[in-house]
Chain A
Amino acid sequence: MTARISRTVVSLAAVLAAACTSYYEIPIETPIRAKLDVGAFQRVLVAGFLAGGSDDVDGNLETTRLLRSQLRTKSDLRVIDADVLPLIEVAGGERKAPTDATTPAPAGNPIKNDKDIDQYQHVFANTEYWKKIGEEYQQPLIVTGTVLFTSREQTQMQQREQEVFDTLGRRRTVAERRLVERKGFGLQGRFIFIDGRTGATLHSQNFTESILYDANRQTPALSSYFELMDKLIPNFLATLSSQKIKGTRILLN
């Protein structure tokens, strides 16, 4: 009896406490600080990328264009319009001097995988080169890096419910597992931020994203490329400018 009374009192107290608590939904903006202090720069040059992989997308041109347009609308830095640097040629020229002017250039993009990219990565460590580029454009923040956009295929186990009827006509569902082939694309690489005054690397960030579709779905490579870049852009922008995440919280009394 006593236990019953005390239980009732406790639950009444809980109800009263809940009734006394007022709540107010309020919008808030949570500020996220930029990872890189770009206070010393007023201008940004998205110079170009060491890009390769699929021949369907020009990773250098598309990435440069996309990042410039994003920075134009979502950062305070002034974006410099300039020709996109052919970094493969720049890095290739550093590696070996041209032997003969009549020797034809290799057809297509020589970068097919990450090992190929490694052969050209030394260009980012060439501070003299980047300093020279910086001088040419009034010492901006330089954005460059690597982009490897490749097609992918994967076989995955897929489970789905299937309806079956027994001899008495009763319906039941059974899980059916089967292997399905999926096709898509992967995007991996690195964004590199270089100080245009010194040519030194200030910050770099790696990225990897992939997307797979049903094998019978025909998705254009360029559309997949933009889909993947969409996932990377918020991180890229968060490096350069502080952002505010809008949300709501509940204030209590």
Chain B
Amino acid sequence: MRVRRVIGALLLAVFVSAPVLADERDDAKAQVQFGIRVAQLGLWREAVTHWERAVKLDPTYAPAYNNLAIGYEHQGDFEKARNAYEKALELSPNNAYIKQNYELFREINDRTNKQDGR
């Protein structure tokens, strides 16, 4: 009886929270998509603003962090780019695209650090 009640409560919680979570993911996706469109037009600063909004709306959305990392990389902000790539990989460790982007970023970052003698 008690088990049934717990399961019932859990199911209720899932059903109530699911639309809310879905809304946030949808809003984040919309921001990410818009960011991609403006980045393709070369408006990187605006793209970054949209991807920043997306990660605020849904902090578990790995593609938003991936795109944000690329945006930061394009702006030369290597520290922020690294953090965003690492967060994207933490959320989606097996995503081959994120891994590839991160590898390419690290290659440049390591080379710069080597030049600086860091």
Contact = CB atoms under 8 A, between A and B. Distances in A.
Where chain B touches its partner, the secondary structure class is: helix
Given A28-B73, A30-B73, A235-B115, A251 B66 contact: yes
B36 interface: yes
A249 interface: yes
Contacts of A31: 75-76
A245 interface: yes
A253 B104 contact: no
A21 interface: yes
Q: From A28, A235, A251, name the one whose CB has the most chain B CB atoms within 10 angstroms.
A: A251
Contacts of B95: 252
B39 A253 contact: no
B107 to A, nearest CB: 9
B115 A253 contact: no
A32 B108 contact: yes
A253 B76 contact: no
Contacts, number: 56
B70 interface: yes
B108 A251 contact: no
Contact of A252 (B40, B63, B115): B63
Given A29-B74, A31-B76, A35-B116, A249 B104 contact: yes
Interface residues of A, number: 20
B63 A253 contact: yes
Nearest to B97: A250
A249 B63 CA distance: 13
A12 to B, nearest CB: 16
Contacts of B39: 26, 251
A32 B81 CA distance: 14
A122 interface: no
A253 B28 CA distance: 10
Contact of A245 (B67, B101, B108): B108
Contacts of A152: none
B32 interface: yes
Contacts of A235: 115
Interface in B73-118: 73-76, 95, 97-98, 100-101, 104-105, 108, 112, 115-116
Interface string B25-62: 00001001100100110000000000000000000001
B115 A21 contact: no
B34 to A, nearest CB: 10
A31 B66 CA distance: 18
Interface of B: 29, 32-33, 36, 39-40, 62-63, 66-67, 70, 73-76, 95, 97-98, 100-101, 104-105, 108, 112, 115-116
What are the nearest 7 A-B pairs in CB distance?
A252-B63, A31-B76, A250-B97, A249-B70, A28-B74, A249-B101, A251-B36
Interface of A: 21, 23-24, 26, 28-33, 35, 235, 238, 245, 247, 249-253
18 contacts: A28-B73, A29-B74, A30-B73, A30-B74, A30-B105, A32-B108, A33-B76, A35-B116, A238-B115, A245-B108, A249-B70, A249-B73, A250-B101, A252-B63, A252-B95, A252-B97, A253-B29, A253-B32
Given A26-B39, A252-B63, 10 more contacts: A26-B40, A28-B74, A238-B115, A247-B104, A251-B63, A251-B66, A252-B67, A252-B98, A253-B32, A253-B33
